[in-house]
Chain A
Amino acid sequence: MVPREAPALPEPDATPDRRLRTARVNPELLPSVAVLACAVLLIIATKVLNPGSSFGQQLSAVLVTSIFLVVASFGQGLTILLGGIDLSVGVVVGISAMMISTLTNGHNAALYWAVPATLAFCTGIGLINGLGIALGRVPPFIMTLASSITFFGVGLAFTSGLAQEPVAPALQVLMTGHWLGVPIPIYLIVVFAAFAMLFQDGMTEGRKLYAIGSSPGAARVLGLPIAGLTALAYAISGLCAGIAGLLLAGYSSAATLDIGDPLLLPTIAAVVIGGARVTGGRGIYLGTFAGALFLSALGTVISALSLSQGLRNIIEGAIIVGALLLQSERWGALRS
């Protein structure tokens, strides 16, 4: 077994690296698949508990409501992979939703420039976070918390908290329409997940992030561009939060500045449940994806069973702690 602290080599075509990659990915597939299986079991359980419901409808409800988490937690996962965290996700989602409403003002024609402008702004917030962390050496949670407070203030100054304009109809159709009988967001999830997996686990940049997260010292010795990659990871996190904001604005057909707040903690939870190490260096996107689906399925079961909010919080908290405990146990076994 290759020691986990060893950074992966960046060359994708080198034979030893290919061997390394296989060795790294395989043990992590197991928890991801297990979490995915749990999500499916939860959906089946809801069907058993409510025989009148349709399995297809439930699956579709779980998938459609999971898209925001699937997208935003990819970026969160990259920052956690570096041993950091992005606490600005909720605020960036809100800013994105507000920007797209304000810029399009209910007109599809404006989308072609409003979407890139919104996403560029959100990526910019992520980039500022990344540069502050990489060059300013500000601890990630302080940097992202501070930028979220600051940019919330900027949003507030411009909007008073409420978008005065409606969301462009095309975005609403994107989130509520069907193609070949399947809700469009489900296609979006498939495309996004495929791209995210390719980037995080297949591309050189993604692999370098693992190396930095595993051992920043070794990565420095190897000459990896740590500052650039850190800025890249946070910029992607900003971009993902921006995309989630666009989707949420389309889904809700109205935007408020605090629309993304309930998403922040679930993005962290999805990454952790998916088997990522909170101190960085480990975790694949399939795990995060499974974690997001699991949380969405859990939300559906809890809503369908009408569990009290207290019990709901206990269950969600216990699952996160359980996921962490499982990790430490596995790590203990591996080390021994």
Chain B
Amino acid sequence: MGSSSGRFGAFLKPLLYGAGALLAAVGLAQPVFAQAARYKVFLDLSYSGNVWQTAAANGIKALAETPPYDKEVTFKTVISGTDVQHQISDLQSMIAAGANAILFYPVSGTGLNRVIEQGCARHILMFAYDSSVTAPCAYNVNSLSERYGANSAQWMANEMGGKGELVINHGVAGTALTKLMDREALDVFHKYPGIKIVAQFYGNWNDALSQEGVSRILAAHPNIDAIWTVDGTWGSLQAMMQHRPNRLVVIAGQSNNGYRLLIGDKELQAKGLKGLSASFGPADGPYAFKVMMEVLTGQLKLTGHNIAYPLPWIPYSKVKLCTGESFVNGCNVFPASKVPALFIDTALNGKLLPELDLTSVQQGTPMPGATIQKLPPVEYAGNLPGVNCENCKAPAGWLDPTLVKPIPVPQ
């Protein structure tokens, strides 16, 4: 028995060694294989040439080249323009090219659903940023449900003491975003009978048009106390500074560097300027990219499909000048000598995107020495029927402000 077992053992030994060597070889080969096979990741932009889109795209490109993603990802950018059909065809090409993940700026909330489902059927991560889609399998990353309209309007109502003449600078007529923000803001303003909306116009989120609009309104309504905007805020304030420099207004809106510098200026504050720099930020694109990459690399498991990018929120008292190239130690505005007035400060986010600095978002290059940092836990967004979901219900009190406590209505 013993001899037979010895013979068997002698026969088995090389076999076991061989199997061991084979397993070791396979075990060694696996990481080599994983390193060689990069993830194919696509970025589909809607429109290049617009300051906002450029800042978001640069941030995403910079992240894709930041270690370790520079070695893990094959990254391609496609510009689809503003035409739905064009974007559908571009997304189809990316799916056919074997994409693992696609990050896209959707030009339509519903028109892309079919192609998105085609991508999901092939287990491709489909992430929409900044705007949203209603396809249930897609992930939306944006600030749409963060109630900019309600929060900024409430902040203004509080600063106005619940009374005064108000101008509304709407965005682009007929867009879902303008409708949603207007509804939220008007719901708050209408609670204060002392706040009179004396004029409204469509500034198209454009500073030159907004400046013209406010100049014209000032000629007809010389006593306005406040201007509510979503964008075109810098232009609106420029008009006030030109035509009524010694009596400024309460104003809420975007995050252009020039605007933040003005609202943080103590001399202007003494002339009545009380500004809020909040609204949406192009950094939601790079943030969406990081979330998508964490899901793709297995570091994050999402339990919902609507992810919130926290609303940037800088009232005039919180404006803090940066000395370097990035938002560190709570600073949130650059000196005028460093960036143009229309640079959008919310292209950066010191907390969620410490890998990006000024040069990254201006030129799309990675910050020297930076490596990708793990994200804090994601926040999920509330339902917005027809915006980020279909056949769904908005949560109770979805028009109520979340960041500001309302003052009582003055008697």
Contact = CB atoms under 8 A, between A and B. Distances in A.
A9 B314 CA distance: 67
Given A50-B220, A248-B208, A156 B48 contact: yes
A285 interface: no
B170 interface: yes
Nearest to B364: A160
Interface stretch (A33-41, A119-127, A162-170): A162-170
Contacts of B48: 156, 160-161
6 contacts: A61-B216, A160-B54, A163-B342, A254-B207, A254-B340, A304-B199
Contacts of A54: 219, 222
Interface in B170-221: 170, 173-174, 197-202, 204, 206-209, 211-213, 215-221
B75 interface: no
Interface in B215-260: 215-223, 234-235, 238, 242-243, 258
B341 interface: yes
A258 B217 contact: no
Contact of B49 (A52, A156, A262, A309): A156
Given A156-B49, A248-B208, A164 B217 contact: no
Interface residues of B, number: 46
Interface of B: 48-51, 53-54, 58, 170, 173-174, 197-202, 204, 206-209, 211-213, 215-223, 234-235, 238, 242-243, 258, 336, 339-343, 362
A252 B211 contact: yes
Of residues B206, B258, B336, B340, which shows the largest number of chain A Cβ atoms within 10 Å of its Cβ?
A: B340
Contacts of A214: none
Nearest to A309: B173
B141 to A, nearest CB: 23
Contacts of B342: 162-163, 254, 256
Of residues A251, A303, A306, which shows the largest number of chain B Cβ atoms within 10 Å of its Cβ?
A: A303
Interface residues of A, number: 44
Contact of A254 (B201, B218, B234): B234
Contacts of A53: 219-222
Contact of B213 (A58, A101, A303): A303
A161 B51 contact: yes
B247 to A, nearest CB: 14
Contacts of B339: 164
Of residues B197, B208, B243, which shows the largest number of chain A Cβ atoms within 10 Å of its Cβ?
A: B208
A308 B221 CA distance: 18
A305 B209 CA distance: 17
Given A58-B220, A262-B206, A164 B362 contact: yes
Given A251-B211, A304-B199, A256 B51 contact: yes
